[in-house]
Amino acid sequence: MTYLTKPKFQHPDLPKNALGYTHRDYEGKISTLCAGCGHDSITAAVVEACYELSIEPHRVAKISGIGCSSKTPDYFLGNSHGFNSVHGRMPSVLTGANLANRDLIYLGVSGDGDSASIGLGQFAHCIRRGVNMLYMVENNGVYGLTKGQFSATADRGSKSKRGAVNSDNAIDLAALALQLGASFVARSFSGDKTQLVPLIKAALEHKGAAFIDCISPCVAFNNHAGSTRSFDYVREHNEAVNHLDFITGREEIKVDYEPGSVELVKQHDGSTLALRKLAKDYNVNNRLAAMSYLLERNAAGEVVTGLLYVDPESDDMHAGMNTVAQPLNSLSDKDLCPGSSALDKINAALR
Amino acid sequence: MPIESVNDFVLRFANVNGSGSASANEMFARAVMRMGIPVSPRNIFPSNIQGLPTWYEVRVSEAGHLGARGGTDFMVAMNPQTWDKDVASIEPGGYLFYDSTKPMPSGKFRDDITVIGVPLTAICNSQYTDPRQRQLFKNIIYVGALSALLDMDVAVLEKLIGEQYKGKEKLIQPNIHALHLGRDYALQHLTCPIGLKLQHSDGVGDRILIEGNSAAALGAVYGGATVCAWYPITPSSSLAEAFTSHCKRLRTDPETKQNRYAIVQAEDELASIGMVIGAAWNGARSFTSTSGPGISLMQEFLGLAYFAEVPAVVFDVQRAGPSTGMPTRTQQCDLINCAYASHGDTKHILLLPEDPAEAFEFGATAFDLADRLQTPVFVMLDLDIGMNQRLCRPLRWDDSRVYDRGKVMTAAELEAGKDFGRYLDVDGDGIPYRTYPATHPTKGSYFTRGTSRDRYARYTEEGGAYVDNMQRLLRKFDTAKDLVPRPLRANCEKPTRFGVIYFGSTSPAMDEAIAMLSAQGQHLDRLRLRAFPFHHTVDDFISEHDFIFVVEQNRDAQMRSLIVNECGIDPARLIPVLHYDGTPITARFITGAIGDRLDTLKVTPLRKAAS
């Protein structure tokens, strides 16, 4: 980390997006994480994705739990409200926030300790409720802030920095998310920004529960030989199933790739995802196939990345609840209070 | 001698859980109310769905005493499992009503009571072939027999049946038929009426009969709650369920038929309170309902809400603890757990309703207080109020009332350059301004956290900034003292050195106890607490009396501890009166406990006498 304050000075010719904002308008405070931390690359990818989508920063609510990853929402989108809540409980806070105002963009940031150990229950229930959000786990397989204990996503047989071998089985959060009904599931790598940025963009635009498991090596405690979450290991074993170029629906689709190598996935809201296929015969709309592919390649020691599954007909929690279109937090007293005459009738029925 | 009494006795139904007796018993209680006689029914039930014993007690009191009395004058003994205990519990001179289809050995009765046998099973079997019908109509048949024995106005019961099955007209006639089967049998074969009688009166007025949980849920609807997240737990589940049904009726958009509310049955209590906090942070009024074990699970989040200053409303319908305790029995045992919930230095607002009418009022007010004070507010019900129908004044709402959303800075104020410090005490009351997310594109955003921060919400571990913040939170708590419902004081006619402090569901028993004590020549001033933190009038009341009884329904005198702790009172002056066996406190108990102590306290100490 650095102790220098971020300079406010910026180049006058810095490029601007459709809203007239520059990159700087999507940044937050200076990171206090270790130099070289994978999480900072994810932060940069979030900034890039929001900038490219021309999202109004204040329309995003950033919610996190506790841990290194959960600190990162302070480092991007400085004009957004953020909520660094309780360890493992980001999903419930995000769900409540979403219930209150369905119009905002919800970005839940969590880690593998936060989501796979203490918060596994809330992770599961938040996904199965179909909360409209991007739920991103910055997954390093280790507890950073408490100095290097294994997390529940650490692979069986992987070695800690102190040499201990993990004898417990790993939880695959992407596989779990698929089983639990997430309508958008991806895995990526903090070291591969070209893959990660479009995935974040697509997930932010997705209606429903979008989950990204982002492998993010911990340079302080989990970047050594014998670790399966080190930069070197992930680079060597990364098997991407596709490369996503996110294209909004209003624009004409221009594909420069070889015929047959690109898949166009039409979304519910009219937008289209253009996918460059890397794994032959991988079908991004097949939940069952995705689950079995993940398990199969995992057994072979590969880290499968890319857009693993998307449901083009997805919907969210509010649809199931039949809530009014207007955000609940903006309903007036008149909309909410039935008044004295209704109460008189209730009293009469209780006599 | 058989007990003789008009409109003043206790009748108890002993049933088997799941036998369909509840609706017949409730109909009986409501009929008493319709006859203009004050009535107070109570469910005494086990943690079970079917098969175990359950009782329904109906206290009839022309004088209007609504607390549990203790003792039974008339027992409807429908459960062979509890027969011996039920018969033994009848007051001398009381009455035993039973199903005489099978003869009972004479040793199963008592000489000092009147035994009334009606062959309920035989009557049912001669009329119905369907087993479920036989079971359900048996309950209506005994209500019919009671109507003759107690000289009730049968038209009132017939009208109630008509109302109960409105929309299912096919069921009205069979039920009225069953009612008359029982009534006619009693009139033909038994001496009617007995010594206990029900006569039309005008003691009810415009009062209503409603469960506390339903009233509290209605309070949440009127108070503007839009988000409810909960996890099922006795005795609070019916609160969230009542909110659901009230909302369906009162909160559906008339045009789109869409819901102006969102209710989530969460995966546990941790998620429930998390959702409440998330929603409230985002500007929606939200609440959860739970009981003691749920409060234990919510501790960490409650500390976050206190420290990060997020409003939250928690209805705690208390039951006997610790651990699973007696989940279907009443107590006031979560006071300390709620008042000081979470780790670190925390203090929370508690509201203490005495009955459903106040549960409604406080249920609505809790949302104003939570928004005004930006902190969790607990509405402390208990099983006795929550799960029993209680006669109370009608629910009232002032249509000119406007929700107090507290200090929320608007986009216009931010745009005008108003200084926004999320934890900045601009008014000296300890309450800072907050902004809802997405208020303004470039101003007013902040990062909410459970870790220490400065007045502008910037992370800091500086001791000075931490202490500054903690002191402001104390100032805010002081501000709360004048905002929460004030205690209510009632002085006795003569000056007295003795006072009594009580709260919540103890109220009706205390009213009656005061009258009983007064009849014995023992006079006390009384103060009913309605909220924590305590208003200064609590200190005044204590300083004006030498000894104060603190009556509560828990083992450890939790309210007394709160008073000692918060008001700095010498514990020797606060005499605990504790009732905690899981049954509702009675006037008899209070009168006994206070009466005995008063006699000893009135003895002039030796030292004083000698000097």
Q: What is the pLDDT of residues B166-196, one digit of tens each?
A: 999 999 999 999 999 999 999 999 999 999 9
B232-258: average pLDDT: 97
Contacts of A322 in chain B (CB under 8 A): 257-259
Contacts of B268 in chain A (CB under 8 A): 121
How far is residue A64's CA from residue A71's CA, in Å, rounded to a whole number?
8
Do B5-197 and B210-392 show the same overall fold? Answer: no
pLDDT at B20: 86
Asked if pLDDT for residue B65 goes beyond 50, the answer is yes
DSSP B89-125: TEEEEEEEEEE-SS---GGGS-TTSEEEEE-HHHHHH
CATH 3.40.50.970 is held by the domain B210-392: yes
Contacts of B283 in chain A (CB under 8 A): 100-101, 329-330
The top-level CATH class assigned to B488-610 is: alpha beta
Q: Burial letters for B298-334: b for 16+ Cβ neighbours within 10 Å, e otherwise?
A: bbbbbbbbbbbbbbbbbbbbbbbbeeebebbbbbbbb
- In chain B, the N- to C-terminal Cα span, in Å, equals 54
Residue in B278, B396, B401 closest to A93 by CB: B278
Residue in B262, B263, B301 closest to A86 by CB: B301
A-B interface: how many C-beta pairs under 8 angstroms? 224
Q: Confirm if B95 and B75 have CB atoms less than 8 A apart.
A: yes
B307 touches chain A (CB under 8 A): no
A238 touches chain B (CB under 8 A): no
pLDDT at A257: 55
Residue in B260, B270, B447 closest to A336 by CB: B260
Spell out where B425-573 has E strands.
447-449, 488-490, 498-503, 525-529, 531-532, 547-552
Whether residue A122 and residue B280 make contact (CB cut-off 8 A), yes or no, is: no
- Is the ipTM higher than 0.90? The answer is yes
Structural tokens at position A197: 């940025």
pLDDT at A259: 55
Q: Which CATH number applies to A23-349: 3.40.50.1820, 3.40.50.970, 2.60.40.10, 3.10.20.30? A: 3.40.50.970
Contacts of B266 in chain A (CB under 8 A): 92, 125
Name the pLDDT band for B46 (thresholds 50, 70, 90). Answer: confident
Residues B515-558 have pLDDT tens digits of 999 999 999 999 999 999 999 999 999 999 999 999 999 999 99
Asked if pLDDT for residue B240 goes beyond 50, the answer is yes
A335 torsion bin: left (phi>0), alpha (psi -120 to 50), beta (else): alpha
pLDDT at A1: 46
Q: Confirm if B143 and B125 have CB atoms less than 8 A apart.
A: no
B498 to B495, B536, B547, B596: CA distances (angstroms): 9, 19, 5, 13
How far is residue B541's CA from residue A133's CA, in Å, rounded to a whole number?
54
Whether residue B397 and residue A339 make contact (CB cut-off 8 A), yes or no, is: yes
Name the pLDDT band for B356 (thresholds 50, 70, 90). Answer: very high
Say whether the peptide bond before residue B571 is cis (omega within 30 degrees of 0).
no
B595-610: average pLDDT: 72
Residues in chain A where the model's pLDDT stays below 50? 1, 250
How far is residue B23's CA from residue B58's CA, in Å, rounded to a whole number?
13
Contacts of A105 in chain B (CB under 8 A): none
The CA radius of gyration of chain B, in Å to the nearest whole number, is 27
How far is residue A209's CA from residue A131's CA, in Å, rounded to a whole number?
5
Asked if pLDDT for residue B383 goes beyond 80, the answer is yes
Domain range list for chain B: 5-197, 210-392, 411-466, 488-610
Superfamily of domain B5-197, CATH level 4: Pyruvate-ferredoxin oxidoreductase, PFOR, domain III (3.40.920.10)
Nearest CA distance, A271 vs chain B (angstrom): 25
B324 torsion bin: left (phi>0), alpha (psi -120 to 50), beta (else): alpha
A57 touches chain B (CB under 8 A): yes
B438 torsion bin: left (phi>0), alpha (psi -120 to 50), beta (else): left
Whether residue B227 and residue A81 make contact (CB cut-off 8 A), yes or no, is: no
How far is residue B393's CA from residue A304's CA, in Å, rounded to a whole number?
66
B26-46: average pLDDT: 96
B58-76: average pLDDT: 97
**How does the average pLDDT of chain B come out, rounded?**
96
Q: Which of residues 454-493 of B touch A (CB under 8 A)?
A: 459
